[in-house]
Each structure stands twice: as structure tokens, then as C-alpha cells.
A and B are shown apart, each in its own frame.
Chain A
Amino acid sequence: MSEFAALRADDAELAGLRSAVRGFLAADRETFGWTPAVDCWLSSWDTAFSTRLAEAGFIGLTIPGEYGGRAPADGTGYLHRYVVTEELLAHGAPVGAHWIADRQVAPGLLAYGTEEQRRRLLPRIAAGQLYSAIGMSEHGAGSDLAAVQSRATRTDDGWLLNGTKVWTSGAHLAHQIVVLARTSPLDPEHRHAGFSQFVVPTDLPGITISPIVLMNGEHHFNEVQFDDVRLTDGDVLGEIGAGWHQVTSELGFERSGPERILSTATMLFEVVEALGRGDVDDRTAAAVGDLVGRMIALRQMSVSVARALTGRGERSDGGWLGGDANTRAAMVKDLGTRFEQDSVELAADLIDGVDGPEGARLRAMLTVARVHSPLFTLRGGTNEVLRGIVARGARAT
């Protein structure tokens, strides 16, 4: 197999998959008329689209067949998902409803869930019909996640959950929230000990979900309050006390994916395509080339982490970060999200050169991108925290 193609996640199998997703998206958009959006993985919630996407075979690519998914037997499911994700983002598809469940909850269940949980939840995720939120941050626990104070206490027949989560994307529309809570009191010597994860159905008594409205009026985030919410042992995800390890071991997948580079991509490609239909001076062409060059380089880093996570080695070393996928993922997210931010104003300059209805559509996307842009470097771990991880993880070559 060509190493060049493999490095670009463009070998024959992945290229075929890519073209199949493109075909699906073109036909689906033609039929159902959704509008491509920037930051679609946060903001475009379309449950019917999620179901159609699953029916076409593009959700659950990391879930084995026995749980209703479509993971290939050779363990390349993450690369398949990578390629599908790229196409969805590049085309601004409305992927928000199933996003967190497919990206994060399914791998968590496969790694730590009980057989009963897997059989109950994974088929619905693979069908694009289970919507999940993640309850991590709290008022007093942002970058410092170990300051989480939500707690679950043991009862005769289960657990009693109390606490408040914030920035919980999509909780108001989700079936469940995966909550990180203390199950043992804080030990100042071992701050990361004593956490556990729970899969909490949103329709349980004692849960209050209130909107936290974005500065342009959009509602994606929520405050979620848990008042004596009764959970069963069947709601525990993984081991009691192992919550911190479980949460941090998922970060490699969450942090290095295409959504850390491509949140603005649909706007970028549309403006380049529009400009390409007319005469372009060298200065503008160079600006486009700088944008494309940076995206290609970042994508190479991101794909290399995805390949490392699926056990596909490279004929090169990991440079200053060695082979540690989590450190490399932190670097990808830091660089990729800053690129996303920079790309907004670079796109703005290019959009100046586009008139007519296309220009109007691009300016509407630009407006949304400008509001969402500060979020790019906050969500999933602030870039300040990530740069600390990179600096500590670096080793001399």
C-alpha cells in the first residue's frame, strides 16, 4: 500500500468510504434542504438527519456488529470514523444530535461499560437515535476538573446524586448525561482519586435543566442541577473510584479529531470556490495558499494521532512528543483550534471579494463563526491547559 496515501487517510478503502459519504450528503441535502453551517457539531441538531445518516451506514463505525454497529473487524474503525467526520464537517452537515454519543459515549461504553449497558445503549447510538450530553464542568471546576463537587452517595439499593453541572451542551435535548461525580471525599494528597462516572437518564425526578444562552441568543449550553437523583448500580459506568482515569483516557480521541481543525471549513471552502470562479490576484492566491498549507500540515498531525490510536505506526518518530498519543492530541487541539480562530478573520478578508447571494450566505456564516470563535479554544480543555501538557510532555529527541 502507498505510504503517501496511508499518511493522508486516502488509501483505497478510505477513499471509497469518503466518496460514499459525499454521495450521501449531496443527495440528502438535495432532498431535505438543510443549510451547511459552521460549527455544525455544536449547533446543528437534526434528529431526522442523524437517523438517515445511521441508516446509510455512517454512524457507529467504532461499534462492533454484535452491538448493532459497523466497526470493521481489522480495528480500523476510528480511521473510518475519521474520514466520515471530515466529510460531515467539511460539508457543514447537521450532526449535533448524535455527535457526543457516537464520538465519546460509545468508546466509553466499549471500554468500561457492562454487557447489559452495551446491549441497552450501543444499538441506539449506532442507529443515530440516542442523544447524550457530557456532564463534566461545574461552576467551580472549569480547567481544574479535579475541583468537581457533584457527589453520589451510596444508598441501600443504589446511589443518590447531588450537584450542578454547567456548559452541558445539548442536555435539554438529550436522553442521558454522562456525569462525573465524587464517590469518595476529597483527599488533598490524591485529588484525582474518588471520582466515578454515571449514565444519568434526563427524565429522572430531581433533574432541572436550565439554558445558558450564548451571546447571540443561541441555546446550546445548559446548567443541570441534580437534587437527590436516585440512580441504580446499573447506571454506574466503569469502576467506582476510577472516574478520573476513565475520563482522561478518552481525551486522545476527543482532542485530536477533525472537529478541532474543521469547525469553520465549510465557510472556507465555499469562499475559495467562489473566488476561484473569477480572476484572482497573486496576493489573494497566496492568502488562500497559506490557509490551505496550514490546514494540510495540521491535518497530517491529526491523522497521525488517529493512526497511532489505531495502532498504525509511521515510518517516522513522534518528534519532540515521542509516541504519547495524549500529549500529541493536546498539541493538535491547541494548534488546530487556534487555526480555526485565525481562519475566521482570514475568511472575512476573502469574503470581501464575493458578491451576490453567495456573498450574503457567506457573511451569514461569518457572523455565526465570529460568535462561536471564542469557544473553539475553550471547549474540551482550554488551550492554556493544553500547552502545559505539551510543555511537560516534550522530550528531547
Chain B
Amino acid sequence: MNDELKALVDDIGRRSFDARVGRHGLPERFDSDLWQVLETSGLTRLTTEQGADPADAAIVLGGLAQYAAAVPVAETDVLATWLAGQADLSVPADGPLTVAIADVDPGGDRVTGTARDVPWPDAGPVVLAARSADATFVAVLAPGSSTSTHNLAGEPRGDVPFDLSSTDVVRLSPGVADELVRRGAWARCVQIVGTFDAAARLTAAHIGERVQFGRPLATFQAVQHSMANLLGEVETSRAATNLATFAAIDHGFDSPEADYAVTAAKVAVGRAVAPVTTIAHQLHGAIGVTLEHQLWLATMRARSWADEFGSTGWHATRLGRMALAADDPWHVIVGPVVGPAPRN
């Protein structure tokens, strides 16, 4: 593990968090100060311009998620810049970008539709992936959305309508959209594990400090068992996500290995969100559900992110179909990953 990078991200994240104490709200505002720091440190386009591998990207994304950083680094680097590069479309070399995914039914000479729940739609140019049965249409749109809302964690989300001439889009294979979703699912897994670490850290601190019945909560066996359950969910999620990261490093995001491991990770991580959230809030008591407390910055990000780039149930169905289609389902768990990445 790259300890230096980890320490750098931790330091930047902590400072930005401290600078924003009391200023987190609904919706969150883009943190331009933090973005400047990250950009100066070369962390906003780590994989696309610095040649870093997904393990390094995971350190950055997970570290920033721990501190509820209000910056679309995953969207900019792992998704939008990559997608634009696939289409040979130019996007600004600095500043934030985001990505929009929509299903279209191309008729005539126009590509028309609406991308729902686009993350940070006003922060920068929007790289669109409009997918049909046999193609991915890519275009770069101006920032902005027709609706302005936010997820449970306050992060901006909006609908982005588009009506493009077929000469204004780049036509790529449908596999590009599949890989985009896979990259997004992987990034969300890494980020959710970051929020899990924050929730675990806050909970461990709280039960160590909070005194009831004359002693710290952490001395009660019932509380210790809940804490052990929480940590179990966190470490299971980390193990599954770690496998997905190395699938991407060794075989690329477009490989059957990455398809398999990211799908499994999204299921494991997604199913851990409810228990982690429930236990962390339970052990905090009522203070943890207030806007002034920082716990929701972690738990509600996890809750929201788990539904993006394919819900947990959607990924579970895919993973189940992989096992059901196998000659022996045991081989799906231990054997080499076989076959092309199935279409979604």
C-alpha cells in the first residue's frame, strides 16, 4: 500500500473537513478550496493523467469519502475523463467534470433523452453516455440540469435532458457503457468503504467517551458485540472491494474478471450498508441523527451511493445469473473467471 499517498490524502481530507465544520448542509456546496488543493497535488486526474493504478485511486477516493469531501473526483477522473478519452473528445484538463448515463432509443438522425440523477451536474462539463441496444453514444454537454435536487447526503443530483444530432455524438460499442457502469460501481464501493471507516471511527470514539450508568458504553458487552458486528461488515466489504480493485489492476475494467469481482463487491458492500448504518446510529443514540452531528455525512453517503451505478438488487441478480449459468456454481466462487463480460 502506498503509505505516502495515504498520508497525503488523509492530511488534505482532515484539513478540508475541519475547515467546513458546521458548514455541511442540504444541499452540499462544491468545495472549490479543496478542489484547488487536490488539483495542485495532482490528485484530481490520478488514473487518466498521472498513470496511477486503481489501488492508488482507491486510496484517494476512499480517503476523501472518509472526510465527506464535496468534490466529484471519482466522476472527473475514473468516469468522465476516461469516457471522453474513449470517444476522442476533448474536455478541460483542469476543473471538475461529471458523467451522465441514459438509455436511448435512437430513431432518425437524433439522439434524445434525459439522464436522471446526474451527480454534481452544475460543477463542470457533463460527459454523456447514451446507451442503446447496440451502441454507446458519447458527447460533451455544458454544465447544468433541468431539475436541481440532492441525495440523502446533500450531494447535488439533477436530470440532464439532451437532444443531439447524430453528427454531434461519437458512436462507440455498447461495451463502453457497460465498462462505465462497472467503473462507477467500483468507485462507489471504494467510497462506501471510506464512509464505513468514518462511521466506525466515530462510533468507536463515541462509545469510548460516552458514560451511562457510571461507565463508558464500550465496557458493556452488548455494545462490544454490536461494535464487533459493525467491524465485521466493514472488513467483509473491504475484502470484496480489494478483490475488485486487483481485478481491475491485473485485467482492466473491461475484463470478465473485473465484471465478476466488481459485481460481487457491489453486492457485498451494498448489503453491508443497512447493518453498518443501523449499528452506527444505534450506538450513537439520538445525537447521531441530527444535522449538527457528523455521522450522517458518512451514513447517508453510503446509503445514497449504494443505489448508484446499479442498485444492490440489480447487481445481486447479475451475480446470481452468473452462478445459475455455470456448470458448477462452486467454480464461480473459486475458479478462473471464464467467458466474456456478459451484456447488462
Give 1 or 0 for each of A259-297: 1 = CB within 8 Å of chain B CB: 000000100110011011000101011111111111111
**Complex CA–CA separation, A295 to B267 (angstroms):** 11
Q: Is B250 an interface residue (CB 8 A)?
A: yes
A253 shortest CB reach to chain B, Å: 19
Residues A18 and B246 in contact, CB atoms below 8 Å apart: no
One of B234, B240, B317, B333 near A286 (C-beta < 8 A): B317
Q: With the chains together, A154 CA to B324 CA distance in Å?
A: 62
Is there a chain A Cβ closer than 8 Å to B247's Cβ? yes
Contact A319–B225 (Cβ < 8 Å): no
Contact of B204 among A276, A304, A396 (CB under 8 A): A396
Cβ contacts under 8 Å, A7 to chain B: 242-243, 246
Residues of B within 8 A of A386 (CB): 228
Shortest distance from the beta carbon of B252 to any chain A beta carbon, whole Å: 11
Within B321-344, the residues touching A (CB, 8 Å) are 321-330, 332-336
Q: How many contacting A-B pairs (Cβ < 8 A)?
A: 187
CB pair A391 B227 closer than 8 Å: yes
* Contact assessment for A298 and B236 in the assembled complex, using a CB-CB cutoff below 8 Å: yes
Nearest B residue to A293, CB-CB: B267
Q: Which residues on the B side are within 8 Å of A299 (C-beta)?
A: 333-334
Q: Give the contacting residue for B249; candidates A3, A269, A286; CB below 8 A.
A: A3
Which listed residue (A316, A331, A392) contacts B242, Cβ 8 A? A316
Q: Summarize B's interface: helix, strand, loop or mixed.
A: helix
Bound complex: CA A208 to CA B265 (Å): 51
- Are B317 and A10 in touch, CB under 8 angstroms? no
> Which residues on A sit within 8 Å (CB–CB) of B330?
90, 265, 269
Q: How many residues of A contact B (CB 8 A)?
A: 61
Asked if A184 CB lies within 8 Å of chain B CBs, one says: no
On chain A, the residues within 8 Å of B333 by CB distance are 292, 295-296, 299
- Choose one: B218, B227, B236, B249; the contact of A297 (CB below 8 Å): B236
User: Given B1, B267, B323, which contacts A272 in the complex, CB threshold below 8 Å?
Assistant: B323
Say whether, besides A3-B249, A387-B224, A391-B225, A335 and B271 are in contact (CB < 8 Å). Answer: no
A296 adjacent to B264 (CB under 8 Å): yes
Q: Are A297 and B324 in contact (CB under 8 A)?
A: no
Give the Cβ gap from A260 to chain B, nearest Cβ, in Å: 13
A390 in contact with B334 (CB, 8 Å): no
Chain B residues 290-321 with CB under 8 Å of chain A are: 313, 315-321
Verify if B23 is at the interface (C-beta below 8 Å from A).
no
B250-274 residues with Cβ-Cβ distance < 8 A to A are 250-251, 257, 261, 263-265, 267-268, 271
CA distance A128 to B263 in the complex (A): 40
In this complex, the member of A297, A315, A317 whose beta carbon has the largest number of chain B beta carbons within 10 angstroms is A297
Instruction: Give complex CA distance A286, B204 in Å.
Output: 34
Residues of A361-397 at the interface with B, using a CB-CB cut-off of 8 Å, are 384, 386-388, 390-392, 394, 396-397
Question: What A residues does B317 contact at CB under 8 A?
Answer: 282, 285-286, 289
A selection of 14 A-B contacts at a CB cut-off of 8 Å is A5-B336, A8-B334, A276-B329, A280-B324, A282-B317, A292-B320, A295-B333, A296-B264, A297-B236, A300-B243, A319-B238, A335-B236, A387-B229, A391-B218
Give A contacts to B, CB under 8 Å.
2-5, 7-10, 15, 18, 86, 90, 265, 268-269, 272-273, 275-276, 280, 282, 284-301, 304, 314-317, 319-321, 328, 331, 334-335, 384, 386-388, 390-392, 394, 396-397
Residues of B within 8 A of A (CB): 1, 55, 197, 200-201, 204, 218, 221, 224-225, 227-229, 231-232, 234-240, 242-243, 246-247, 249-251, 257, 261, 263-265, 267-268, 271, 313, 315-330, 332-336
